[in-house]
Amino acid sequence: MYLSNKNKFKIYYLFFKDKNSNKIKKITTKTKLKKEALEFVNNFKPDEYKQYKKIIPFNYFCELKDEILKYTSQNYTVSTNQIYRNTLNKFLNIVGNKLLNSITINDIEFYKSERLKIINKVTLNIEIRTLKAIFNFAIRMNVISENPCKYVKQYIICEKEKLSFEENEINKILLNINDKTIKNIVLFALHTGCRINEILNVQWNDIDFQQKVLTIRNKPNFKTKTGKIRQIPISDKLYFVLNKIYKDKIGDRKIINFNNTNEYLFTNIKGLKFSHTFVTMQFKKYLRILGIHEKYHFHCLRHTFITNLIKKGVNINFVKEIAGHTDIETTMNYIHIVTEDLRKAVNLITL
């Protein structure tokens, strides 16, 4: 057996030979002090390694990071896991690898002030909520007794305007998109109100052509925003778009079996699905060419779909279900857009 602290955080690890596997294994002593590490060695029994490893607490933030990422990688989506990874790494870089029970609200406030120099308040609020969840995890593990983020305030964010396109703008956009795949993605968004990641993860077997229903479902490499499955009726216009996409595939001599295929609806020439970054950047490019204000983006197509449903007098609960909102209040936020449209109409009267 021997000790070594040759690692980034200078924590002592004990290396020993496992009798069962005949391999060299290591276990953390949870300390940077050699005296404490030697005490650990004196009390350590290799035969009880598995049981000992389970009950020993972790003391430093980097060790909490390892435990958190094990948990998030198994229980959360790839994107959520990445948020945890980024937040943990940034906290280590800014605050350092402190003892967990020595981290205070001052450390969190320092982290906030440093991060605000680089990121906006919306993103920082996400990181604050993530840190709260991280330290709550540490409480559940009986490593700390109180969350240092408990009294940390998030930034107040002014509600963003839900921008939607007017009919003449949509016509102009569609007329000027010369890439047929991007155009079909835009049409799909306008007729379903789906989020960009939902659209790019639609496979042919998610479409029931007989019942005319599109199912947005969870998959091994994709989770819906709410984690819930929803079904969207396929309109006549969307049915026309889907048929057009199918004919384009046949034109490329690519036969599709609708009843049994995992092929994605929108793919590049190599048959791979697009990234959301590529599609949103391509869409933004066309908006700039047309001189449409910078504040508009791909997600405005979803707002346009929802706003149009409300304008047509569709029951607000139906809109909620189609849009995939978990809370009716989210859907209600779109009503003020219609109110403004009515105000414009009233102001046309000049008598």
Residue 274 above 80 pLDDT? yes
Where does the pLDDT of residue 294 fall: very low under 50, low under 70, confident under 90, or very high at 90 and above? very high
Taking all residues of the chain, what is their mean pLDDT, rounded to a whole number? 86
Task: Tell me whether residue 159 is in a domain.
Answer: no
* 283 and 173 in a common domain: yes
Count: domains in the chain: 3
* 325 and 192 in a common domain: yes
Task: Tell me whether residue 351 is in a domain.
Answer: no
* 258 and 220 in a common domain: yes
Where does the pLDDT of residue 55 fall: very low under 50, low under 70, confident under 90, or very high at 90 and above? very low
* 104 and 71 in a common domain: yes
Contact 100, 64 (CB under 8 A): yes
What is the per-residue pLDDT across 199-228, written as a single tens digit (0 to 9) for each?
999 999 999 989 999 999 998 888 888 888
Q: What is the CATH number of the domain that holds 263?
A: 1.10.443.10
Task: Tell me whether residue 156 is in a domain.
Answer: no
For residue 9, what pLDDT is reported? 61
What is the per-residue pLDDT across 105-143, written as a single tens digit (0 to 9) for each?
999 999 999 999 999 999 999 999 999 999 998 888 778
Give CA–CA dist 237/314, Å, rounded.
Answer: 18
What is the per-residue pLDDT across 163-184, written as a single tens digit (0 to 9) for each?
899 999 999 999 999 999 999 9
* 320 and 208 in a common domain: yes
* 217 and 318 in a common domain: yes
* 224 and 181 in a common domain: yes
* 229 and 107 in a common domain: no
* 22 and 121 in a common domain: no
Task: Tell me whether residue 147 is in a domain.
Answer: no
* 323 and 215 in a common domain: yes
* 309 and 211 in a common domain: yes
For residue 349, what pLDDT is reported? 75
For residue 52, what pLDDT is reported? 47
Task: Tell me whether residue 157 is in a domain.
Answer: no
Residue 39 above 50 pLDDT? yes
> For the chain, how far is it from start to end, CA to CA, in angstroms?
95
Q: What is the CATH number of the domain that holds 100?
A: 1.10.150
For residue 49, what pLDDT is reported? 56
For residue 63, what pLDDT is reported? 87
Residue 249 above 90 pLDDT? no
For residue 56, what pLDDT is reported? 46
Task: Tell me whether residue 92 is in a domain.
Answer: yes
Residue 60 above 80 pLDDT? yes
SS (H, E, C) the chain: CEEECCCCCCCCEEEEECCCCCCEEEEECCCCCHHHHHHHHHHCCHHHHHHHHHHCCCCEHHHHHHHHHHHHHHHCCHHHHHHHHHHHHHHHHHHCCCEHHHCCHHHHHHHHHHHCCCCCHHHHHHHHHHHHHHHHHHHHCCCCCCCCCCCCCCCCCCCCCCCCCCHHHHHHHHHHCCCHHHHHHHHHHHHHCCCHHHHHCCEHHHEECCCCEEEECCECCECCCCCCCEEEECCHHHHHHHHHHHHHHHHCCCCCCCCCCCCECCECCCCCECCHHHHHHHHHHHHHHCCCCCCCCCCHHHHHHHHHHHHCCCCHHHHHHHHCCCCHHHHHCCHHHHHHHHHHHHCCCCC
Determine the structural domain holding residue 49 and report its residue range. Answer: 2-55
What is the per-residue pLDDT across 182-195, written as a single tens digit (0 to 9) for each?
999 999 999 999 99
